Amino acid sequence: MEKISKISESEWEVMKIIWEHGPVTSDKIVVLLGDEVQWTQQTIKTFINRLVKKGVIGYKKEGRWYHYYSLISKEECIKEESEFFLKRVFNGAVGTLVSNFLEEAHLSENEIEKLQMLLQEKKKKDESNQK
Amino acid sequence: MEKISKISESEWEVMKIIWEHGPVTSDKIVVLLGDEVQWTQQTIKTFINRLVKKGVIGYKKEGRWYHYYSLISKEECIKEESEFFLKRVFNGAVGTLVSNFLEEAHLSENEIEKLQMLLQEKKKKDESNQK
DNA sequence: AAATTAAAATTACAAGCGTAAATTGTAATG
DNA sequence: CATTACAATTTACGCTTGTAATTTTAATTT
């Protein structure tokens, strides 16, 4: 559980691609980022390199190509990032955060129902814990 | 609706105090931040100054004291910050974001019920829109 | 009015970041 | 095997940020 050195905004975009597309070459990353961002291929390579330096991604060589893959769990990262955001912007108040997002959001009926079930579950569990 | 220059992590902590405590002097800010952070008074003054430079807070002088107040809306800032976070970490999927937070969270029964009502409302509204 | 004092403002400085060009190393090719 | 082409690595550079010490300014006190 050692400290993960912080991933910057831009590096996050790269990480998302790497998480989603398994071991992937740099030029594939460039292509996949294509419509998301405005960076040149050089810039993207800089970010890849910094991620390697930070030890959050690794690679295996294959011919002249490096295939990059993540060394850290996406879920773990999201969790950390979320906790940080929650604390920073909402002072740790999950209820406020959630209602804020819900108010602004537009959700499908299906999604709404899933959330309702989640809450129902939660309530039941709390009740049995309370007893 | 001009571009607000970005507020850094540390500056956010100062902004939270200023939003919550109306026009407030620097030394009051120092005291109020006391248990939150580890910064020296000098460091805090730097942040205050940068916020002034960025044009997000103003002040009125009174004797030797400056009383600082926010020039930007907390709600607006939270909204921007939230949108950014949503996009960055959850690719814009509010449903996923919310269920993620809910799963981790521990919420009071009251809070749960408030959220349930919010969802109920939302569903109703969607239905009538759909028709 | 001069001296003191305590704010604010200026200056400092290293690390990180966004942005990329230049260089190096090495696999592929003639 | 020498050359080429292309991927990775190194270098670059100005801006922001975290962290604060130093200097200036102006209110208060003697």
Q: What is the pLDDT of residues B53-71, one digit of tens each?
A: 999 999 999 988 999 999 9
B93 Cβ under 8 Å from any chain A Cβ: no
Q: In whole numbers, what is the pLDDT of chain A averaged over residues? A: 90
Q: Is the pLDDT of residue A75 over 80?
A: yes
Centroid of chain to Cα A55: 17
The pLDDT value given to residue B3? 45
pLDDT the model gives residue A125: 78
Distances (CA, A) of B107 to A78, A91, B78, B100: 20, 15, 21, 13
A116 touches strand D (CB under 7 A): no
Q: Which of B81, B102, B127 sits opposite A89 (nearest CB)?
A: B81
Question: Å between B8 CA and C14 C1'?
Answer: 18
Testing the interface with B: which of A36, A115, A131 to mutate, by most B Cβ within 10 A? A115
Average pLDDT over residues B10-14: 96
A109 to chain B, any CB pair closer than 8 A? The answer is yes
Distance in angstroms (rounded) separating the CA atoms of residues A43 and B39: 34
Rounded CA-CA distance B112/A25 in Å is 45
Q: What would the two tokens of residue B78 be?
A: 């939270």
How far does the CA of B24 sit from the C1' of C11, in Å? 26
Pick from A17-21, A90-94, A124-128, B82-86: least confident: A124-128
